[in-house]
Amino acid sequence: MPIPVLSDVPAALRFLSRLPVPALPFEHDAAPPDIDRLAPAFPLAGVVIALTGVVTFIVGQLLFGDVLASTLTVAVLILVTGGFHEDGLADTADALGGWSVERRLEIMKDSRIGSFGVLALIVGFALRVGAVQTLAAYGTWSVAGALIAAGALSRLAGPAMLAALPPARASGLSHGAGRPSAAAMRRAATIAIVIAAFAVFPSLGPLALSSGVLLGLACFSGLVRLANVQFGGQTGDVAGAAILAVEIAFLIGLLIFARHP
> pLDDT tens, 111-159?
889 999 999 999 999 999 999 999 999 999 999 999 999 999 999 999 9
**What's the pLDDT tens digit per position in 214-242?**
999 999 999 999 999 999 999 999 999 99
What SS3 class is residue 139? coil
12 has a pLDDT exceeding 70: yes
Beta bridge partners of 234: 167
pLDDT at residue 90, rounded to an integer = 96
Q: How far is CA 17 from the centre of its chain?
A: 11
Contact at 8 Å (CB) between 146 and 200? yes
212 has a pLDDT exceeding 90: yes
pLDDT at residue 178, rounded to an integer = 73
Measuring CA to CA, how many Å separate 183 from each of 32, 115, 116, 125, 190? 21, 40, 37, 34, 11
Q: CA–CA separation, 12 vs 27, rounded Å?
A: 11
Q: What Rg do the C-alpha atoms of the chain give, in angstroms?
A: 18
Question: What number of other Cβ atoms are within 10 A of residue 30's Cβ?
Answer: 7
Residue-averaged pLDDT of the chain: 92
